[in-house]
Amino acid sequence: MKILKTIAGAFFLLAGTLSFAQTAEEIAKKSHDLPDGKTNSFTAVLTLTDKAGKSRTREIVSYEMKEGTTEKNVIVFKTPKDVAGVSYLSFEYPDKSDGTPVDSDSWLYLPAMKKVRRVSGSNRDDDFQGTDFTYDDIGKRSLGKDTVKILGEESVNGVDCWKVEYTAKDTKAKISRRIFWIGKDNYVTYKGEYYDKRNALQKELTCEDISQISGYWTTRKMTMTNVQSKHKTVYEIKDIVYDKDVDPKMFTVSALERELVK
């Protein structure tokens, strides 16, 4: 999953007596651009638990492909019946050469209504289909939407990390800032915190079962907990395949409407 590939930090690499430093922006880009194959596909199980401890489970399939500089992703809910067939298509574009962010194109198909609706840029901080992950979390948040600041260095489960703050440039953003802990050796996110408009902690992210698959760093379990509502979503990838051909016809609004993506 691509989920949370934006971070920044300060990294010193010792080579003999020389010391080289990277800027926060440089590390942010390296984390954002972590390789995840020309294509990838996986099945995932999402477990949603409310404050009373009642859980419900959903299964999705995801396909991704790169076409030039555009990253295309389609997600389809398989179970349970009440959400089966709900699908989401997004096209992510790189920032402009001057760093200006370019909004993604996104569409959501609701089979009960037989209707596709666009997901606007202002909705990117909304929760994705009742989960505690946002549309930005399941895609790639543009680097140009935030200013980055290094807060320090900490260890997460024995992994040396940079602790980096991302503050939204849009003062009206629902999530005002994010803090991520990124591994110094691999630029992978190990932990995160999300703050609301009032700068109060809203959500906490933990990442587990991180390893390389086919040479690509992969996080197979993520838990997002809303500390305000006491609701939580566990996202577990059951299988993932990289660099295997996928049908480009799946990545169209027409394919959503005709429910062709399986």
Residues in the chain, pLDDT under 70: 1-21
CB 104 within 8 A of CB 139: yes
* Cβ atoms < 10 Å from Cβ of 134: 21
Instruction: For tokens 């997901």, name the residue.
Output: 119
Distance in angstroms (rounded) separating the CA atoms of residues 234 and 223? 4
pLDDT at 21: 59
Distance in angstroms (rounded) separating the CA atoms of residues 9 and 7? 7
pLDDT at 24: 85
Instruction: Give backbone dihedrals phi and psi of 249, rounded to 5 degrees, phi first.
Output: -70, -15
CB 72 within 8 A of CB 40: no
CA 221 to chain centre: 12
pLDDT digits (tens, 9 = 90+) for 32-91: 999 999 999 999 999 999 999 999 999 999 999 999 999 999 999 999 999 999 999 999
Provide the H-helix boundaries in the chain.
Answer: 24-32, 135-138, 253-257
Amino acid identity at 31: S
DSSP assigned state of 100: -
* Cβ atoms < 10 Å from Cβ of 136: 23
pTM for this structure? Answer: 0.89
Based on the number of CB atoms within 10 Å of its own CB, is 160 exposed (0-12), middle (13-18) or buried (19 or more)?
middle
Amino acid identity at 74: V
pLDDT at 157: 94
pLDDT at 245: 94
Name the average pLDDT for the chain: 90
pLDDT at 20: 34
pLDDT at 23: 82
Instruction: For tokens 């555009």, name the residue.
Output: 70
